[in-house]
Each structure stands twice: as structure tokens, then as C-alpha cells.
Amino acid sequence: MEGDWVPNRLVIIEFPYMTSLMGWYNSAEYARLIEIRKRCANTRIIALEGVATPTL
């Protein structure tokens, strides 16, 4: 709603926990893809923790 961030593309990947995200991001399998991504795209990556749904 404010600021100057105007992405050409936005990709959202959901993980159940931040530890799951970090495990995937730091995995040997993804490390190979990071090198490809860096050669092909300028990226910004952010990680956000969601808000837990309260139990009633």
C-alpha cells in the first residue's frame, strides 16, 4: 500500500514452519538451483512468519 516496490513477478511458497523453510533453502538439492536462479534472475527473497489461527 506504500513504498516503491513494484515486482514484475511474485512467487509465494508456503511452509508449515520456519524451520521447514530453512531446511529446504539450505538443502543440497536447492543449492544447485540457487546457482541457476542467480544466473538467470535478480531476486529479493523475504521470509514471513504467519499468524497462528487461535483454537476455540
pLDDT for res 39: 93
Q: 14-48 burial by CB neighbour count: b if 16+ within 10 A, else e? A: eeeeeeebeeeeeeeeeeeeeeeeeeeeeeeeeee
pLDDT for res 25: 95
What pTM does this model have?
0.70
pLDDT for res 5: 79
pLDDT for res 56: 76
Q: Domain coordinates of the chain in residue numbers?
A: 8-49
pLDDT for res 32: 93
Region 41-55: mean pLDDT is 85
| Confidence bin at 24 (pLDDT 50/70/90) | very high
